[in-house]
């Protein structure tokens, strides 16, 4: 029996493949390589000493997906495939609705047809909007400020409707906080296209000399040092959370939203300091205006993940920065030679 990982060549998906293989699962990856390279999967196999099966396929291609299900005994799907850039989603919203929502609907149709009803979905803390912190899963969600966030919220609702229509489904809506870091081997990590939008990839490219200076977006937030506070989670911890979710789905039917976060926040300047310690030199930064749509503080209440999955984060911010630095310095151009 195999786990199908959509988007498995991407940043989080490749780390999840490592942990699934380490836990003894057989892994089948479907990815259209829109935002990733097949090289990540070669590295996954190098890290684990185990092999996986790869199909270059778009999840909106129902026939292609059916072939994957026919050729493999899939017992559960982890669904990472999607577009994820907040700013881009405001410029090309239809692409986001088509890829993220259309893709998920087709995936679920094929799963239902093939009788596979266990699904782990990559949702996001963005569905909480500006709810009071810490974010708890029973809070009202859906106040998203951009099309990307709305696709996550809408997919959660679609999957709730699916479960309501057929109680044989077993679904986990994993709401990630801020995944950063890289596998400690330095072989796989985040490989953004162009200039990074997110904080850690930006800091690490300043550290390696590809970018001149970090812009800190706002120093007048209602936080101890005035800069934005986020709940950073090591991507390896996040990946282990997925293995635990797969195990959880084996034993029950139902649908649950579950936060995957550490339960505490770090400010932008605290992260800069931690990265300086990891790389051994100063990171040039300047204070810039706030970025529209950003919140002051976001962090999880991690209790439900502990209760249902037995999941708690293990790796701290120093380790997140050390591992990011190892990945960045060993692979200054990401997966490109
Ligand atoms: P990523 O872009 O590195 O990985 C996504 C993968 O999906 C890529 O390999 C891409 O090529 C593939 N893909 C996209 N559309 C596809 C399609 N139609 N068919 C097949 N493959 C397709 O992103 P990531 O950071 O690994 O994120 C994985 C998931 O987690 C995404 O759904 C994202 O929205 C969600 N998420 C990410 C974060 C984050 O900060 N990274 C936070 C919350 C949620
Ligand atoms: N920041 C900077 N400078 C930068 C980039 C970011 O100061 O160049 C700041 C932001 O203002 C924020 C913090 O660093 O305070 C983190 O920003 P990121 O862009 O790394 O992450 P966000 O919290 O904005 O968003 C991330 C994902 C979203 C997801 C959200 C909630 O990118 O997809 O977490 O899970 F929706």
At 143 the pLDDT is 87
Sign of CA dihedral 166, 170, 176, 182: negative
Question: Using an 8 Å Cβ cutoff, are 17 and 41 in contact?
Answer: yes
* φ and ψ at residue 288, rounded to 5 degrees: -125, 170
**Which pLDDT tens digit goes with each residue over 240-281?**
999 999 999 999 999 999 999 999 999 999 999 999 999 999
pTM comes to 0.98
Which regions of the chain are under pLDDT 50?
none
The pair of structure tokens assigned to 98 is 């088509």
Opening angle at CA 329, ends 326 and 332, nearest 5: 135
Q: Is the CB of 84 under 6 A from ligand 1?
A: yes
Q: Whose CA is nearest to atom 8 of ligand 2?
A: 199
Among residues 11, 55, 148, 299, which one is catalytic? 148
Q: What is the position in ligand 2's atom list of the atom closest to the CA of 176?
A: 35
Gap between the Cα atoms of 107 and 152, Å rounded: 15
For the CA of 200, the nearest ligand: 2
Does residue 176's CB lie within 6 angstroms of at least one atom of ligand 1?
yes
Residue with tokens 């196999």: 45
Looking at residue 1, its pLDDT comes to 86
The number of the ligand 2 atom at minimal distance from the alpha carbon of 202 is 8
Task: Give residue 79's pLDDT.
Answer: 99
The string of pLDDT tens digits covering residues 222-246 is: 999 999 999 999 999 999 999 999 9
| CA–centroid distance, residue 268 to ligand 2 (Å) | 9
Q: Treating both helix axes as pointing N-terminal to C-terminal, what angle do 268-279 and 199-207 enclose, rounded to 10 degrees?
A: 40
DSSP code at position 292: T
Distance from residue 171's CA to the centre of ligand 1 (Å):
18
Strand partners, 123: 175
Tokens describing residue 265: 């926040």
- The 10 Å CB-count burial string (b at 16+, else e) for 21-44 is beeebbbbbbbbeebbbebbbebb
* 196 phi/psi in degrees, rounded to 5: -65, 145
Does the annotation mark 232 as catalytic?
no
Rg from Cα positions in the chain: 19
- Burial (Cβ within 10 Å: 0-12, 13-18, ≥19) of residue 159: buried
Report the 10 Å Cβ neighbour count for 140: 8
**pLDDT for res 23:** 98
3-state secondary structure of 211: coil
C-alpha dihedral (318, 43, 332, 261), degrees to nearest 10: -30
């Amino acid at each position: 029996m195999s786990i199908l990982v959509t988007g498995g060549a991407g940043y989080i998906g490749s780390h999840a493949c490592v942990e699934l293989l380490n836990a003894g699962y057989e892994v089948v990856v479907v990815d259209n390589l829109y935002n990733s390279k097949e090289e990540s999967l070669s590295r996954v196999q190098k890290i684990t000493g185990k092999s996986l099966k790869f199909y270059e396929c778009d999840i909106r291609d129902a026939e292609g997906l059916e072939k994957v299900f026919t050729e493999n005994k899939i017992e559960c799907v982890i669904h990472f495939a999607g577009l994820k850039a907040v700013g881009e989603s405001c410029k090309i919203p239809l692409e986001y609705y088509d890829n993220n929502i259309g893709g998920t609907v087709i995936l679920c149709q094929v799963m239902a047809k093939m009788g596979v009803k266990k699904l782990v979905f990559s949702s996001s803390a963005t569905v909480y909007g500006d709810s009071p912190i810490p974010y708890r899963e029973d809070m009202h969600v859906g106040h998203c400020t951009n099309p990307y966030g709305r696709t996550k919220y809408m997919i959660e609702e679609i999957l709730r409707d699916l479960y309501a229509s057929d109680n044989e489904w077993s679904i986990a809506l994993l709401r990630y906080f801020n995944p950063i870091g890289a596998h400690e081997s330095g072989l796989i990590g985040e490989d953004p296209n162009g200039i990074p939008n997110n904080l850690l990839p930006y800091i690490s490219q300043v550290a390696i000399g590809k970018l001149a200076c970090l812009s800190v977006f706002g120093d007048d937030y209602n936080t101890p040092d005035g800069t934005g506070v986020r709940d950073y989670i090591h991507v390896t911890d996040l990946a282990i959370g997925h293995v635990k979710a797969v195990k959880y789905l084996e034993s029950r039917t139902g649908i649950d939203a579950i936060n995957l976060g550490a339960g505490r926040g770090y400010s932008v300047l605290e992260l800069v300091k931690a990265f300086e310690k990891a790389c051994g030199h100063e990171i040039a930064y300047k204070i810039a205006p706030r970025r529209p749509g950003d919140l002051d503080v976001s962090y999880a209440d991690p209790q439900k993940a502990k209760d249902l999955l037995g999941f708690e984060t293990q790796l701290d911010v120093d380790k997140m920065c050390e591992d990011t630095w190892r990945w960045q310095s060993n692979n200054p151009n990401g997966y490109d030679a």
